[in-house]
Each structure stands twice: as C-alpha cells, then as structure tokens.
C-alpha cells in the first residue's frame, strides 16, 4: 500500500473490496510504520496493516486471516555479497532496518540481544540508499515490497547494483489488525475474513495481487 499508487496499490484494493463486500467503506491514511501503530493504539484510526503477528500486538489487536504471504529476504549490494553460511557470519554483517518493524521472533531476539548491529531508518528509500553507499551490508525486507520500492525510488543503474539472498530468512503471513478496545471489531474481522475467502475463490484476489508480485 502506498499513497502514490493508483488506488493506493493492490493490497489496499484487496482490503477495500473485501470490506465493501460486507458493507464498510474504507479510507486510507499513510504514515511511517511506528506512527501507524501509534495511531491504531491511540484509537485515532480503526485499524492498520499489514502486520506480522507478535505476542505484544495480539494483546492489543484482533488479527484478520492472512492478507498476504510474505517472503522476507536479505538484500545486499552486488559489490560486496555477504556469505551467510553461519551464525557467526550473520553477526559480522551490518544491517539497516525500519523503525518499529518486526523481522520475526528469531531475528528480533538477535537484534534485541545486540548480537547484530542494526541502524534504524524511517523508510525503504533511506534503507536502500545506505545499502547503495555500502554504509551497511544487509537490508532485510519482504522481497516483492523491496523490489517495488527500488523501482519507485531508484534508477535502473542503481537497481542493478542490488540483489537478494535467494533463501528467505522468514516466510510469514501478514494481516490487518483492529483494536480490542472495541469488541465489535472481532465480529467485523470474521466477516472480513469470509469476504477475503470469497475473493480468493473467485480469482479476484490473484488478479489484484499479480500487480504486486513482479520484480
């Protein structure tokens, strides 16, 4: 999802159409990840997405069924391909990541324990910029999202300098979330899940998603 895309992007279209199917009109506001979560926690927006499940988030929010299966990979600069054949090799690299973004339990725990050094930035453009300047070795990001952001913000010459480690470090489902402060949200998400299932059965989901899964 992005404010500069037609119809805010394919994922936004999927969410909007599923909610329309159950009688709800959706309006999107766009923030950096940390602020989007804060807006939802404070009740200033009804929900936010897309997010991976974590224990802390599940304590505050109801989660939809998966809206997208994500493949998270390590992006790198072709001039300095990292060899990640051991945990020690993983620790020797420098990383850039997004503020308040979860990279799954395993990587989050390593970051929290300061076993790897991660410089946090607010958006993908900054992260890939650091990678292109060889200020860091690795940028972990969802594969399709990463290549989309490269196409949006960088020249073909710069894009050709970036590649990714083929094996994903994480495969996870991502979801929209609604606050548990409003107990009605549990039922709303049940209806949303049924609408999303109907979209998948009809082929409409795949039709929209095809706009994203290309790189």
Q: Each residue of 141-158: pLDDT tens digit?
A: 988 889 888 988 999 999
Predicted pLDDT of residue 145: 84
Are 32 and 14 contacting, i.e. CB atoms less than 8 angstroms apart? no
pLDDT exceeds 80 at position 26:
yes
Predicted pLDDT of residue 159: 95
Predicted pLDDT of residue 154: 95
Enumerate the domain spans of the chain.
Answer: 10-69+172-212, 70-171
pLDDT exceeds 80 at position 8:
no
pLDDT exceeds 90 at position 91:
no
User: Cα separations (Å) of 54 from 16, 59, 62, 127, 161?
Assistant: 24, 9, 12, 23, 33
At 164, the pLDDT band (50, 70, 90 cuts) reads very high
Who has greater pLDDT, 35 or 215?
35
Are 173 and 68 contacting, i.e. CB atoms less than 8 angstroms apart? yes
Fold match, 10-69+172-212 / 70-171: yes
Architecture of domain 70-171: 3-Layer(aba) Sandwich (3.40)
Could you tell me which CATH number the domain at 10-69+172-212 has? 3.40.190.10
Are 80 and 165 contacting, i.e. CB atoms less than 8 angstroms apart? no
Predicted pLDDT of residue 2: 56
User: Cα separations (Å) of 202 from 39, 88, 211?
Assistant: 34, 47, 17
Q: State percent of the chain over pLDDT 90.
A: 54
**Mean pLDDT value across residues 180-186:** 92
What tokens does 156 get?
Answer: 């073909």
């Amino acid at each position: 999802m992005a404010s500069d895309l037609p119809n805010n992007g394919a994922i936004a279209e999927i969410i909007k159409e599923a909610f329309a199917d159950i009688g709800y009109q959706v309006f999107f506001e766009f923030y950096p990840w940390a602020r989007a979560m804060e807006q939802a926690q404070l009740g200033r927006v009804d929900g936010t997405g897309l997010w991976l499940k974590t224990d802390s988030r599940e304590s505050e929010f109801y989660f939809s069924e998966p809206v997208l299966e994500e493949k998270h990979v390590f992006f790198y600069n072709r001039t300095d391909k990292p060899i990640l054949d051991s945990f020690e090799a993983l620790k020797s690299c420098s990383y850039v990541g997004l503020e308040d973004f979860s990279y799954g339990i395993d990587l989050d725990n390593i970051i929290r324990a300061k076993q790897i050094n991660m410089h946090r930035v607010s958006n993908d453009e900054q992260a890939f910029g650091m990678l292109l300047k060889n200020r860091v070795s690795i940028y972990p990001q969802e594969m399709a999202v990463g290549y989309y952001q490269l196409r949006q913000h960088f020249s073909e010459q710069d894009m050709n300098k970036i590649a990714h480690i083929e094996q994903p470090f994480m495969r996870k489902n991502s979801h929209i979330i609604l606050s548990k402060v409003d107990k009605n949200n549990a039922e709303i998400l049940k209806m949303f899940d049924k609408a999303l299932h109907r979209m998948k059965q009809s082929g409409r989901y795949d039709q929209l998603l095809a706009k994203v899964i290309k790189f």
